[in-house]
Structures are given as structure tokens and as C-alpha cells.
A and B are shown apart, each in its own frame.
Chain A
Amino acid sequence: MTAGPAIVVRDLRKSYGKVEAVKGVGFEVAPGEVFGFLGPNGAGKTTTISMLCTLVNPTGGTAEVAGHDVVRERDEVRRNIGLVFQDPTLDGYLSAEQNLRFHAELYGVPKSVMGDRIRQVMEMVALWDRKDAKVMTFSGGMKRRLEIARGLLHSPRVLFLDEPTVGLDPQTRAAIWGYINELRRLEDITIFMTTHYMDEAEYCDRIAIIDHGEIVVVDSPEALKAGVGEDRVQIHTADDARAIAALRDRFGLEAAVRDGAVTFSVASGEEFVPRLFAELGMPIRAVSVARPSLDDVFMSYTGSTIRDAEAGGAGNAWMRAMARR
């Protein structure tokens, strides 16, 4: 196994006719990393992932996955990746196990370990007891879990998840994330995923924010949030007026009462809290520190919230349709 980056992308481009879906993106993903592509629908996420998975040929630039060029060494790339698509790609008329067996045969998984490996990945997503049920009887969440198991079956070095939790209810989404985290512990794997859920991007080691086919910024969620601005601190005291005065006198902070608590902003809230207790000179009954959310991050880099970005632009609908081809 090579020690190089799991994914290297340089100036990758894709145009559909005159429409530039991806306008020259570049990034690297380290082995073992969970890398997220965050952006509204139609931003070019699916097109990028399709190029990395060898499903769509780029119109410019290069990309290497697991050390192999996605255009020239397509088979090599395919042997080293697992895919979970946005739309289900299971055969509903076959049982869950038959679907996995089909995949195992297609990927040439050695017969000697095939049965054990199928059982292992199905247990990982808690579907082993449903192995003989036809997939068409499965719920959306079960199908997605089965697809994740299938994507892992051949021990890929990079697992691509295109919107792995889209259209699922919050509990199921949480469960899927549970499996993905478990998977990181068990398997030696790099995960590349796209999402337009802000809260899911938090699970990534690093995220790239993509908008209108371009990467706006790449960094860890923490760093991105720190870059946006200050944390919001709220304290509960017996005498709010005195607390506001003390904050101004001792720390030079402007505070105000919001939602029934003394509220102010400070650069790194968690580090500030011990000083606050030591130097405020009055008892504090409760304190809370709120980090800026990724919504704030997205807003600060793209100038709109992700929901507004999705609502805007009639072109999005057909860009999406093109991207899904």
C-alpha cells in the first residue's frame, strides 16, 4: 500500500455544453481522513464525485485516487474504491445477501472469505438478521445501510458516499453516522463524502465548501468556525446589571441581556471561561459557550445560507439532472 495521499485533485473541470458544472477544483485527501464536500444542490458535488469514481470523464485537469489516474487507470481506481450513490442501486427483487453476493462475484472477492466477509459487513450495519429478505421490502434507511455494507465489501481504500443520508429521517441519519464512525475504527479506510447538511459536515476531519462549481475554502470544521469569528458566551448570575458592568470594567466587553441571560462575544470562549470565573468578582450560576455554526461559516464564505443557495437559481434543477447522469 502506498503512503501517498488517498486523493489528489488538480484543476479538475467538467462542462456540459456551455454549462461549467465544475470550474477547476483542487485538493488533497490524506489516508484515513474523512473529507467532506459541502455545498448546495447543483454546486458541482455529484459531478466531482462522479469524476473521481471514473463514471464521468473530466473535460480538464487531473485526479488520482489511491495513486491511480481516474482516466488512464480506470480499472485500478475501480478496484480500490467503494461507492454509495445518492439514488439506490440495489436489485429489489433479490435478497439482501444476494445483492452482496452479486457484488462480491463482480469484484472477484476470493470465494474462501466471501461468506465471512459478507456476514461481517452485514453485521456492521445490523442487517444480518434480514439477509434473506427481498430488498424491496426494506425501508430507505435499511437500503442505505445495505449499500454502505456493499460499498465496503471488497475492502476499498477509499469509500465515496454521495449524500449518504439524504432523504432519511433524523434518527436514521444518526444511525448511519454511527455505522460510519464504527467503520473508521474497524477498517483502514479513507472516506470522501458530499453533503448539504451542515450538522453532518461536523463529522468530517476536513471540509471543502463548494459553490457554483468552485471550492471556496478547505479546512477543518473547527478552524473554519474559528476563522469566522467569536464565540457567544452566556452567563446566568444573581445580578445581571452588575455583571454587565463588571464585564465592561474588567474585560472591556460589551454585554447585554438576551434570552434571559447576560450575553457577549469573545474570541475563544472556552479559554475565556476560567478567567471569567476567576476575575469577574461575583458568583456565576451557569455558563454556556456557543461556537459559530457551519451555517455561519457557509454564510461568511458564500454570502448566503445553504438553504437560500438551494432555493435560488432556476438553473439548479437541470444542473442537478445533468450531474446525476
Chain B
Amino acid sequence: MATTEAIRIAVPARGAGHDLRAVKIVLHREMLRFVNDRTRMLSMLVQPVLWLFVMGTGLGSLVRGAIPGIDYRTFMYPGMISMTVIMTGMFSAGSIVWDREFGFLREMLVAPVSRGAIVVGKCLGGAVVATGQGVVILAMAGLVGVPYSPGLMLSLLAEMFLAAFTVTAFGVMLAARMKNMQTFFGLMQMAIMPMMFLSGAMFPLANLPSWLHVLTVVNPMTYAVDPMRQAVFSHIDVPAQVNAVLNPGVRWGGFQVPVALELGVVAALGLALLAVGVAEFKRAE
């Protein structure tokens, strides 16, 4: 190399602008990693598609008589969107454990930026990637009798993003302490399976025994699935009694929880988990 003057860089003092750049680059990396990893993209899609088209078709033939005028897969559709989004988000969060194992986390943690910027970047990255994955499921709406109405698509997108952000924050909180991938994925399976089953993603939550009903009400994922289902059902014609069975909404005692409040619950939970995650990374130093 010719002896040119070395370019001298003055690292700026910490400030909002600097932290914002950190958030953006952590998010950007998350997206690059995802786009580069086709296998992961595909494998994240297999499960929901299996559930939707194999399980959904099978179950649908069983319950056809009980729910006239609607395809069971239409009912399962919002649940499968959440499932895709949640699994993808969790995987993104899991990459923190991967980063720790392969040393890259250290590169981030010694940088003169706030831990918060790194964690927020990671959560946004997970949310964006998961939403992107959800779009693929969104594209299949027509196959299960859900109309491609712009209003519906937009509200589903926004709800997906919110759910993805919260679940990634949850994953990041778990991952903050984990030293290896096996432990993380073990724990992730343990957390996700019951949350899926109890969220109304697979079967309707109406007329459940009361012990099961209580579990569904405390399950945070219920509040992510229900708004999506309400959105879908408001765009299709369903007989009232079928709607009552498949789309009962969530009740706290006698109180019918409105969609806005449900979304508020998800958002508040996401922010709380994010705060815990940031605190954990600060303490881990």
C-alpha cells in the first residue's frame, strides 16, 4: 500500500444519533443474516403450512358438520400466522446465544454504545424478519378462503409486527443468560408449545372447562392471536352461531376485552420484557 496519510477517525461522544445508528446496524445485520439463510426461511415455513393444510384439512373434515358455512382452515389461519411469527422471532432472539458462543456478542458489548441500543436493534430485527416471514403466509390467504382486502392485510401486518416484537423481546430476555444453543432451544420449545396450544391458534377457546379457560386468559399469546382472528372474521360472512363458537373473543369475567386493549396488553408486555432484557445485559457486564 502506498504511504498515504492514515485517515483519523474521531469516535463521537455517546448520543441519541449514535445509539440510533447502532440500532439500525444491529437490525440490518439481522436482516442480512436472514436473507442469506434460505434454509432457515424455508424451515420456518414448513411447520405452519403443515398445520394449516394437513392438520387443518384433516380436522376440517371432522368438524364440517358442526361449523356450517366456514372452512376450518379459515379459522386456523390467524393462528398459523402467529405461529410463524413467533417461531421466527424466537429464532432471531436465539441468535444472541449463537453470537455469544461464536464471540460476536463481545464485539457488540465492548462498543461505546448503550446496551439498550443493541437489545432494541435485536428486537426490531427479529420483528422485521418475522413479519417478512409472515407475509409469505399472508400471501396464502386466498387458499383458505380469506379475502385479500387491503384493510385486512394491513391490520394483520401491524398485529404481526407487534406480536413478533414482543416474542423477540421474550426470547432476548431468555437468551441473555443462556450459554449454549441446546439449552435455549430446549427452553424455547418448552415455552412455545403450551403457549401455542392455549392461545386459540389451533382450537376455539369457547366452552372450555374453567381450569383451561383460566390458562388461556393468562397466556399472553392469546392476546396476539385474538385480534388477528377478529380481523379475519370481520371480513368474511359467517353465521352468527358459528361466529360465537369460533370467534368468541376474550373475556375477563364478564368483561369482553376489546381488540385495542388486547393489543395494548401485547405492547405493554413487549416493552416490559424489553426492559428486563436490557437490564440483564447491563448486569451481565
Contact = CB atoms under 8 A, between A and B. Distances in A.
Contact of A80 (B11, B14, B25, B111): B11
A187 B107 CA distance: 22
Interface string A31-56: 00000000000000000000001110
A288 interface: no
Contacts of A83: 110
Interface stretch (B2-10, B140-148, B193-201, B272-280): B2-10
Contacts of B285: 55, 57
A92 B102 contact: yes
A88 B106 CA distance: 10
B11 A108 contact: yes
Interface range on chain A (Cβ under 8 Å from partner): 35 or more
B9 A153 contact: yes
A161 to B, nearest CB: 14
Contacts of B110: 53-55, 78, 83
Interface string B1-41: 10110111111111001100110110011001100110000
Contact of B11 (A79, A89, A93, A101): A79
B29 A91 contact: yes
B203 interface: no
B112 A78 contact: yes
Contacts of A88: 102-103
A92 B103 CA distance: 11
Interface stretch (A117-125, A212-220, A256-264): A117-125
Given A93-B37, A103-B107, A108 B6 contact: no
Interface in B249-279: none
A75 B6 contact: no
A135 B106 CA distance: 17
Contacts of A54: 110
Given A94-B32, A153-B9, A154-B11, A87 B103 contact: yes
Contacts of B32: 93-94, 98
A155 interface: yes
Contact of B29 (A94, A108, A124, A186): A94
Contacts of A166: none
A266 interface: no
A169 interface: no
Main secondary structure on B side of the interface with A: loop
A102 B25 contact: yes
B62 to A, nearest CB: 44
B3 A186 contact: yes
Contact of A105 (B21, B102, B104, B106): B21
Contacts of B188: none
A280 interface: no
Contacts of B14: 75
Contacts of A102: 25, 29, 107
Nearest to A91: B104
A105 B24 contact: yes
Given A78-B110, A91-B29, A94-B32, A187 B6 contact: yes
A85 interface: yes
B108 interface: yes
B209 to A, nearest CB: 47
A57 B282 CA distance: 13
Contacts of B232: none
Contacts of B102: 88-89, 91-92
A124 B11 CA distance: 20
A53 B111 CA distance: 10
A186 B29 CA distance: 31
A110 interface: yes
A90 B12 CA distance: 23
B117 to A, nearest CB: 9
Given A89-B104, A89-B106, A120-B6, A106 B11 contact: no
B11 A109 contact: yes
Given A53-B110, A107-B11, A155 B103 contact: no
Nearest to B2: A123
14 contacts: A53-B110, A55-B285, A78-B111, A79-B11, A79-B13, A83-B110, A85-B103, A89-B102, A94-B29, A94-B33, A98-B32, A106-B111, A110-B10, A154-B9
Interface of B: 1, 3-4, 6-14, 17-18, 21-22, 24-25, 28-29, 32-33, 36-37, 99, 102-104, 106-113, 285
Interface of A: 53-55, 57, 75, 78-80, 83, 85, 87-94, 98, 101-103, 105-110, 113, 116-117, 120, 123-124, 153-155, 186-188
